[in-house]
């Protein structure tokens, strides 16, 4: 009696179970989607690049072209205007604390979530939170030269301590962690442990900043 009333009832039961299972799966997907909404942009970039440092497709401000290295192999870290120069500056305070009266970095007013690239090949020596500087990455380029990338967006650092990066590799996304007045990249350059003007330093290596 295949296909009789009992078999039909069993088939209906299986059908109802399938619908319930499908509904449950959809609800779980929606919850997962909502929870990971913040992390998705970073994940998308990592996935699109095929590795965890990636290939940038950034644009120079007002030029519309892809960021390219200078002849000596140095890069602009992000597109966007320079919003604060190295040198004396008024003190800025927020919930994370106050800035120092001498600005040791060069600020790029790039939007929240803009990918930033290592300005030159090197080794990551720090990747984590640094109080008023927010989340930051430090890259040692050898020869006593280090570059420091500040205020990185939470959960948006793509590199780890000890990792080798090339100039132009994406290392993190622009954020507003630490002391500041909005999303921007604060780039610092140290030579033999002493801060120097990043704009003059990069211009001296053929970079448009």
Write out the residues near Zn ion by the rule CB under 5 A.
Answer: 105, 107, 186
Cβ atoms 192, 144 nearer than 8 A: yes
CB of 105 to Zn ion, least distance (A): 4
Q: Beta strand 97-98 with 115-117: parallel, antiparallel or unpaired? A: unpaired
DSSP 165-209: E-TT-EEEEEB--SSSSSSBEEEEEEETTEEE-HHHHHHTTT---
The one-character DSSP state at 66 is B
CB of 38 to Zn ion, least distance (A): 24
Of the two residues 41 and 195, which places its CB atom closer to Zn ion in the complex?
195
* CA separation for the pair 74, 68 (Å, rounded): 9
* CA separation for the pair 136, 36 (Å, rounded): 22
Of the two residues 54 and 150, which places its CB atom closer to Zn ion in the complex?
150
The one-character DSSP state at 61 is T
Of the two residues 105 and 167, which places its CB atom closer to Zn ion in the complex?
105
Of the two residues 53 and 133, which places its CB atom closer to Zn ion in the complex?
133
Of the two residues 56 and 109, which places its CB atom closer to Zn ion in the complex?
109
CB of 31 to Zn ion, least distance (A): 38
CB of 18 to Zn ion, least distance (A): 57
Q: How many other β-carbons are positioned within 10 Å of the β-carbon of residue 148?
A: 21
CB of 84 to Zn ion, least distance (A): 6
Range 71-110 burial, b when 16+ CB lie within 10 A, else e:
eeebbbbbbbeeebebeebeeeeeebeebeeebbbbbbbb
Residue closest to Zn ion (Cβ): 186
CB of 63 to Zn ion, least distance (A): 24
Of the two residues 169 and 186, which places its CB atom closer to Zn ion in the complex?
186
* CA separation for the pair 145, 122 (Å, rounded): 9
């Amino acid at each position: 009696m295949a296909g009789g009333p009992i078999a039909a009832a069993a088939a209906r039961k299986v059908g109802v179970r399938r619908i319930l299972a499908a509904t449950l799966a959809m609800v779980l997907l929606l919850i997962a989607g909502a929870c990971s909404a913040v992390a998705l942009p970073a994940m998308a970039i990592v996935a699109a690049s095929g590795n965890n440092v990636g290939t940038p497709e950034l644009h120079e401000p007002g030029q519309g072209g892809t960021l390219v290295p200078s002849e000596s192999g140095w890069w602009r870290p992000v597109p966007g205007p320079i919003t604060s120069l190295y040198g004396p500056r008024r003190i800025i305070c927020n919930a994370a604390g106050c800035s120092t009266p001498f600005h040791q970095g060069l600020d790029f007013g790039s939007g929240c979530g803009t990918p930033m690239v290592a300005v030159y090949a090197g080794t990551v020596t720090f990747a984590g939170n640094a109080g008023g500087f927010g989340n930051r990455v430090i890259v040692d380029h050898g020869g006593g030269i280090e570059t420091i990338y500040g205020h990185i967006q939470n959960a948006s650092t793509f590199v780890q301590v000890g990792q080798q990066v090339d100039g132009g590799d994406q290392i993190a996304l622009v954020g507003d962690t630490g002391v500041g007045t909005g999303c921007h990249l604060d780039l610092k350059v140290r030579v033999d442990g002493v801060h120097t003007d990043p704009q003059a330093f990069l211009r001296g290596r053929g970079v448009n900043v």
